[in-house]
Amino acid sequence: MRESFLHYLWRTRRFDLRDLETTQQQNLQILHPGEYNTHSGPDFFNARVNIDGTLWAGNVEMHLLSSEWHAHKHQHDPAYDSVILHVVLQEDLPVFRPDGSRIPCLTLQGRIPETLLGRYEQLESSRLWIPCETSFAEAPEIIKQQWLDRLLIERLEEKTDLISHSLLQCGNHWEEALYQIVARCFGLKVNTEPFEALARSLPLKILARHRHQPHQVEALVFGQAGLLHPVFQDEWPALLQREYRHLAHKYELVPLKPEHWKFFRLRPSGFPTVRLAQFAAFLQQSEHTLAKILEAGTIEEVEQLFHVSPSDYWLNHYQFDKLSIPQPKPLTAAFVEVLLVNGVAPFLFYYGKQKGLERHQQQAFALLEKLPAEKNSLLDGWKTLGSRAANAYQSQALIQLKTRYCDARRCLECAIGNAILK
């Protein structure tokens, strides 16, 4: 048993509440369990209890064994001086306040319903794909849907932490922050960090001055990426190299180190050189991108902003100076969908939240509802359990459920887990 189970029992009051007494035989009434605290300090704040006719208001701390109070060194932490009740599975040692008074203690051993305890232990011992795999179908569909709605918001809020940081770094310039977030998305998982570093080292205002000179934009992108150092055989990279040397001197630019970019185990179509060429093509037509996204009336209008193809050189190249079979390399529909799910939708959500404009938060939800669900092994797992994602809204919520709750075995904090325990 984990301490979190005691937290669950206390906040849901799913234990025998009849004839409650402290371990000193004091009559106990729980008037309010308090507010669950997931940070440092006592487990529940602002609880209210009646002990032998005296009303107490303060905090509640929980442990499996009362001696854990000392093991966790709470006796040296002033934050625990206001604890009015110690709730434990078993009291093996009395606990005292700094003034010498004994903290009232409630033991839950023998008060936990056997059926509930059995279901909890089954979840705890499960080694299946998700702990509740054998009983997942028992949870009411309405609870699943409501919980997935909440998880989608939770996932968006997690992603907005990164947007908030980018916005702070660029002096609350929303267009610049969007540019950095989109850059991260171009890197996918493998080259996320170098793409972000590239965007931060190459301000949007510099790119804006050269947007109508495509070769200069591509020179700035590849030059800042640190990939224009060799002696080239082909004329195109040699031209980019000359342009970058001039622009780097003009703007005092410092390029990244080329070893930051990862090619290993990537298909040629996913090489960072191809992605950088596509990114340069996007930047050439990305003027006022944020305004265009905010004003878009359909998903097609948003997608159109990312329908770009790199310069002609990349038709028969995946890397500089290495000729390949001619193959067009536009941003694919699948890649654009990744950009929208991981970059644009969270940005819209955060923008609406910060500006107090609910329509843009709704725009983010609508975007995810219209985008197809991602395809990966995690979502295949949910399909086998009868939860097939119809769109990105649902797939993002299911990803959040698996990665943040099921894998972390947070069944007691999960609405579906709670429904199964009942």
**pLDDT one-digit tens code per residue, 130-176:** 999 999 999 999 999 999 999 999 999 999 999 999 999 999 999 99
Q: Which residues pair with 88 in a beta bridge?
A: 63, 107
Distance from C-alpha of 348 to C-alpha of 370, rounded to nearest angstrom: 15
Average pLDDT over residues 179-201: 96
How confident is the prediction for the chain on average, in pLDDT?
95
pLDDT at 286: 85
User: Which DSSP string do the residues of 117-176 spell out, in sequence order?
Assistant: HHHHHHHHH--SSSTTTTTGGGS-HHHHHHHHHHHHHHHHHHHHHHHHHHHHHTTT-HHH
Residue 1's pLDDT band, with cuts at 50, 70 and 90, is confident
pLDDT at 249: 97
pLDDT at 422 over 90: no
pLDDT at 38: 86
Residues in contact with 129: Cβ distance below 8 Å, sequence separation at least 6, in sequence order: 381, 406
Distance from C-alpha of 378 to C-alpha of 26, rounded to nearest angstrom: 52
Sign of CA dihedral 123, 126, 128, 134: negative
Distance from C-alpha of 344 to C-alpha of 349, rounded to nearest angstrom: 9
pLDDT at 44 over 90: yes
Sign of CA dihedral 285, 291, 295, 296: positive
* Angle value at C-alpha 184, between 180 and 186, nearest 5 degrees: 115
The CA dihedral of 130, 133, 137, 140, to the nearest 10 degrees, is: -40
Distance from C-alpha of 157 to C-alpha of 273, rounded to nearest angstrom: 32
pLDDT tens figures, 283-336: 998 889 999 999 998 999 999 999 999 999 999 999 999 999 999 999 999 999
pLDDT tens figures, 98-122: 999 999 999 999 999 999 999 999 9
Q: Can you count the helices (H) and strands (E) in the chain? A: 18, 8
3-state secondary structure of 89: strand
The DSSP output letter for 107 is: E
Residues in contact with 422: Cβ distance below 8 Å, sequence separation at least 6, in sequence order: none
Separation in Å, CA 237 to CA 108, 199, 242, 364, 368: 73, 21, 9, 39, 39
Instruction: Please name the amino acid found at residue 113.
Output: P
Rg (alpha carbons) of the chain, rounded to whole number: 28
> Phi and psi at residue 102, in whole multiples of 5°?
-85, 135
3-state secondary structure of 394: helix
